[in-house]
């Protein structure tokens, strides 16, 4: 990995920081759009930042049943998720850290975070946490094949699981017309919704045990830990959005490094991501939460569409 200049490493870090820092903004944007489409005013798009800062300053209450798992989970979760951000190109076609790990590693890091989150849900001896973990277990277990199939399709089309490779080759060929990728796109979108706990999979905004998955796991958190949890959730969502746009809407990456190019790239990036975010939010306002056992149908849809993608590649 010595064939990158110091500058490029700097830029890579910048990309990661962009994802980490901008993630609450996207959350805010989505909330705003939801509110608008529900004929509410809603809070400002920077509200998530205020929430996080506020929470970081608060004292926290910890269940006396809980163990160190509960206490360190937010940190582990945040670290694993945030580190995943380092492998994602944002405005460059590559990430200088791409050599270190590929999309499978990113998935693995997410899984690590999720693993500990589920444990944390079980750690406090409440039935809410168990409920959340149980559902999360199911969803994530079923999501895994869809995810890998999609990755397989992408790897087939863009010749690699290394994200930089994928993005650069995606950038080279304007690939959207190929049906296989279209199917991959559908699958990826569904997966994205599921992973980030959006409707119809999960409804984080109601704290009602019938609907919630993710929220009930982190129900016991407060203060710093809650902030970290929320933030890392936002980062995860941001990363998935970024991946999505990187792979499927690959225009205006910075070809040669210049301040202007980079700033344009960043702007384009924000535009793309917020567009995607608003689309997602729009979808969310149009669907209702599905029954838990119908969620598997959606996931099956994702799997099958990516299978079709595979077959399209081989035809």
Partner 1 sequence: MVENLFLICAIFAFFSLGATLGLLTRGHKYHSYFTYIPSSFASFLTITLSLIIIFSESTHLTFFNIQHLFDFEIFIDGVSAFFLLIIGLISFAVSIYSLSYSKKFDDKKNNSALGMLFNVFIISMVLVVISNNVFFFLIFWELMSLTSFFLVIYEHENKNNLKSGLTYLVMTHLGTGFIFASFILMYTQTGSFSFDSFRDITIIPQHVKDIAFVLAFVGFGTKAGMVPLHIWLPKAHPSAPSNVSALMSAVMLKIAIYGIVRCIFDFNAVDGSTDYVWLGMGMIIIGSISALVGILYALVENDIKRALAFSSIENVGIIFIGLGLSIVFAAFHLQALSVLAFIASMFHVLNHSIFKGLLFMTAGSIHYSTHTKNIEELGGLIKKMPWTAMMFLIGSIAIIGLPPLNGFISEWLTLQSLLAVFQIPSNILQVSLAFAILAFALTIGLAGATFVRLFGITFLSKGRSTKAVNAIEVPKFMLIGKAILASSCILLGILPFIGMNLIVSAFNLPYMSSSPFETISITNTTDSNFASLMMPGVLVILASVFVGVFVVVRIIGGKTKTIKYGTWDCGFGNLSEKTQYTATSLADPIRRIFGVFYKPHNDIDVDFYTKENSYFKKSIHVISTTKNVFDEKMYGKTISGSLFVLNKIRKIQSGKVNAYILYIMITLIALLLFVGFGAHE
Determine the Cα angle at 227 with ends 225 and 231, to 5°.
120
Q: Which is nearer to partner 1, 73 or 274 (CB)?
A: 73
Among 37, 43, 63, 285, binds partner 1 (CB under 8 A): 63
- Phi and psi torsions of 229, nearest 5°: -60, -50
In 3D, which of 242, 248, 281 has the Cα closest to residue 265? 242
CB atoms within 10 A of CB 57: 10
At 2, is the secondary structure helix, strand, or coil?
A: coil
Contacts of 192 (CB under 8 A, 6+ apart): 198, 240, 241, 244, 280
Contacts of 17 (CB under 8 A, 6+ apart): none
CB atoms within 10 A of CB 127: 10
Please tell me whether residue 98 binds partner 1 under the rule CB under 8 A. yes
Q: 190 and 301 in contact (C-beta within 8 Å)? A: yes
Structure tokens at 295: 């969620």
Please tell me whether residue 19 binds partner 1 under the rule CB under 8 A. no
Please tell me whether residue 14 binds partner 1 under the rule CB under 8 A. no
Please tell me whether residue 311 binds partner 1 under the rule CB under 8 A. yes
Rounded Cα distance between 25 and 212, Å, is 23
Q: Of the ranges 25-33, 80-88, 173-181, 260-268, which one interacts with partner 1 (CB under 8 A)?
A: 80-88
Q: Which is nearer to partner 1, 175 or 275 (CB)?
A: 175
Q: Of the ranges 63-71, 180-188, 192-200, 264-272, which one interacts with partner 1 (CB under 8 A)?
A: 63-71
Residues 231-290 that bind partner 1 (CB under 8 A): none
Structure tokens at 253: 């990456």
Residues 159-178 that bind partner 1 (CB under 8 A): 159-162, 164-165, 169
24: Cα separation from own chain's centroid: 12
Residues 114-153 that bind partner 1 (CB under 8 A): 114-115, 118-119, 122-131, 133-135, 137-138, 140-145, 147-149, 151-152
CB of 71 to partner 1, least distance (A): 8
Rounded Cα distance between 129 and 144, Å, is 22
205-234 mask for partner 1 (x: CB under 8 A)? --------------xx--xx--xx------
Please tell me whether residue 80 binds partner 1 under the rule CB under 8 A. yes
CB of 45 to partner 1, least distance (A): 20
Structure tokens at 259: 């301040």
Task: Please count the residues of this chain forming the interface with partner 1, following the rule CB under 8 A.
Answer: 90
Which residue has tokens 């160190």? 68
In 3D, which of 142, 129, 110 has the Cα closest to residue 239? 110
Q: Which is nearer to partner 1, 138 or 301 (CB)?
A: 138
CB of 40 to partner 1, least distance (A): 28
CB of 13 to partner 1, least distance (A): 9
Q: Which is nearer to partner 1, 265 or 309 (CB)?
A: 309
Q: Which is nearer to partner 1, 36 or 224 (CB)?
A: 224
């Amino acid at each position: 990995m010595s064939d990158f200049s110091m500058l490029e490493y700097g830029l890579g870090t910048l990309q990661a920081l962009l994802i980490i820092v901008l993630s609450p903004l996207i959350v805010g944007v989505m909330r705003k759009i939801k509110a608008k489409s529900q004929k509410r005013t809603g809070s400002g798009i920077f509200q998530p930042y205020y929430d996080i800062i506020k929470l970081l300053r608060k004292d926290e209450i910890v269940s006396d049943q809980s163990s160190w798992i509960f206490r360190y989970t937010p940190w582990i979760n945040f670290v694993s998720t945030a580190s995943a951000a380092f492998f994602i190109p944002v405005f460059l076609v590559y990430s200088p850290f791409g050599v270190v790990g590929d999309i499978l590693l990113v998935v693995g890091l997410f899984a690590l975070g999720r693993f500990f989150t589920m444990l944390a849900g079980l750690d406090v001896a409440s039935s809410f946490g168990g409920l959340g973990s149980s559902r999360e277990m199911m969803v994530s277990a079923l999501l895994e094949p869809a995810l890998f199939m999609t990755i397989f399709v992408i790897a087939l089309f863009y010749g690699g699981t290394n994200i930089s490779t994928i993005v650069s080759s995606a950038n080279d060929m304007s690939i959207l017309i190929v049906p296989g990728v279209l199917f991959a796109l559908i699958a990826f979108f569904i997966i994205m919704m599921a992973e980030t706990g959006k409707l119809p999979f999960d409804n984080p905004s109601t704290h009602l045990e019938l609907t919630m998955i993710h929220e009930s796991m982190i129900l016991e958190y407060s203060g710093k830990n809650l902030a970290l949890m929320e933030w890392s959730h936002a980062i995860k969502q941001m990363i998935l959005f970024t991946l999505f746009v990187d792979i499927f809407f690959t225009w205006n990456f910075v070809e040669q490094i210049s301040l202007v190019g980079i700033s344009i790239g960043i702007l384009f990036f924000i535009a793309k991501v917020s567009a995607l975010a608003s689309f997602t939010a729009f979808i969310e306002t149009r669907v209702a939460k599905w029954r838990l056992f119908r969620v598997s149908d959606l996931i099956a849809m994702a799997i099958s569409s990516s299978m079709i993608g595979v077959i399209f590649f081989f035809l």
